[in-house]
A and B are shown apart, each in its own frame.
Chain A
Amino acid sequence: MKKISNYVSKNILSTTILLVAAFFLFLPLIGATEFSLRDGGPDRHSFRSYKWIFEQSGFKENLGVTFKVTALAVVLNLLIMVPTVTWLHISGQKYRRLVEVVTILPLIIPVVALATGAQTALPSFLHNTVLELSFMYVVIAMPYSYRALDIGMSGKPLNTYVAAARNLGASWLKVLLTVITPCIWPSVLAALFLTVALSLGEFTLAQLLHWSTFPTWVSNVSQENILGATALSVGSLFSAWLLLFGFTFFGSNKTDSSKDKE
């Protein structure tokens, strides 16, 4: 009985903490949403500021550019990171420290400094396309995606799974796609979301390398109209959130149903 009451009181404390956190999280969100709906005064509300967004030139083009850059960044990131981290856990254990140190550098080295270097050091054929941003985004997403995958694989008997699958005649590609990936699916999703979220909202590199993407466009357009700027900010945050929430929710239903039963 003591155990149960302990558990309940712990839960109440945690729930209270989370509710307080949610309050402070949503307070500015709600405040900004209300502000963005204002029409000429604090008491009149309409969607005028949202309509204003779509009337601005460059909305569609810049959103398109950002989607393109994001898609390439996600594909590149998973293509490089999933096989690499898998190999590190299966047979490259002695290189794990090295890769861990190397992959954290992009987070430790400030993006502003990276942009300063990229501006002079990247080959010119890359400099001429906005897709150079995708490559840079893979670099700055790497600390997060490496860690997400590494944590997902740690403590899992990957060697046993791989040996079993290989003994049954599976190719390495098949092992990677049908054994490893499902086994670490939450981590793969986490790595994917981080890259998507980071690429969708990345401002520093785009701005300093003088590319026009959705975030830099928002920043420019915002100079003209504070209500419109707020509407844009609220809109972009909520749509990014909806997108990612959809991904998490529908993407991982299968694997997580087993966890629910635990």
Chain B
Amino acid sequence: MFRKVLIANRGEIAVRVVRTLREMEIATVAVFSDADRTSLHVRMADEAEWVGPSPSTESYLRIDRILDAARKHRADAIHPGYGFLSENPDFAAACEDAGIVFIGPSAESIRRMGSKTAARHMALAAGVPVVPGAQDALGSVEEARAFGARHGYPLLLKAVAGGGGKGMRRVDADSELESAFRDAASEAERAFRNPDLYVEKLIERPRHIEIQILGDRHGNMIHFGERECSIQRRHQKVMEECPSPLVAVRPGMREAMGEAAIRVARSAGYYNAGTVEFLVDAAGDFHFLEMNTRLQVEHPITELVTGHDLVRLQVEVAAGEKLRLRQEDIAWRGSAIECRIYAEDPYNNFFPSPGRITRLTRPLGPGVRIDGCVYDGWTVPIDYDPLLAKLAVWSGTRASAIARTLRALREYDVAGIRTNITFFRQILEDEQFRQGSLHTRFVDEFLDRRKPFAPPPELESIAALVAAFHDNGRAAPTETGPARRSRWLEIGRDGMLR
């Protein structure tokens, strides 16, 4: 087993990985930029190394500096987390060349899954259904027109090198095709320096359901079931659950998707943890979308429901150990929900809200897990992703997990900056969400239909009273009513102590 592992990441995921490594009695090395000198991952790790200025292109994305830090601290292996260099095949290859184990798949697997069209080829060759579409990049708008004539509209133009919705256009009719093609290609060129597009049939209001897989370097591979990630905003997941409310009521669906995911991963010679994403249409049929060759943000809900530590398994198989778990050992118990707590203002168009945390109260009690990097007094930097923490809640059933998540969110209080905590409460109270009728357009439609988050009438009176009391306490501290009695009792007690 490794003696020391460097974590090439920051924020909550770096903290998450440190925790498991410490349980495994493996020493940890954190890396940090100027903005992160006092961040939690640096404070928690055994060793730490500065890797550059705040912009990630000068620090967390610098392969040379990360490897220098690993050599200097004599780390045996590197955990890349998610984002940053985690899906960069050159980084995985550079680790290999430096004699440091990359805790993840091979550079070759990452490269093959990185191209959307190559990944589609592999899925098809593995006999896994894909969204009907072109096999290769489009040579011209005429090829897209021919596809539209054959398969009908609406269709979706997507960037071959794409991700995050960039270079993507919905086309509803032949007449829109030409300008959509031009816009998508130029957007893809700007975002990925590659204007190539391919075309797919558009699946209306699909569910986004993904399968967690894990393989060792001896040819063994198992799946850990699904996560439903249909609750998205601007193509980013904000809330996930396990099991999927759809898969939970469809006999055989989990097994079929799990086997399909393993077939795709095997065809890329995959090992370590990975996630195969599917779109599920209204009929319940699933179609391969893409594979993420790393640990996912939302992995904790799978851990809560299956009882396995995915980071520990990643480390074990990266060290060359054989997978001791077999497929029949994986069981799913209860229901888990994750809310991604972001530093953003739901009262102001979800604008980012960096700044100093002036007070932090986190929920505790049964079934509550928080993966976070926030502490009282910490300043949220403007340089990185606004994810503060992931609240993951487990309970025996989906209904009780919803109730428990609502309870936990009511205990959660972050002062000094704005967060999206109340937004989750509104979604969890929504009737359609409670019925489990989810799709990737859910949040957009919810924002249109949601009622204002109106307080019960008595709260306004109480707010007014507290404000007057607070203001009066600052302006003129005189004893005139029952309201301030407790203040004088406190002062009296202080006096006796003196």
A binds B: no
Residues of chain B whose beta carbon lies under 8 Å from any beta carbon of chain A: none
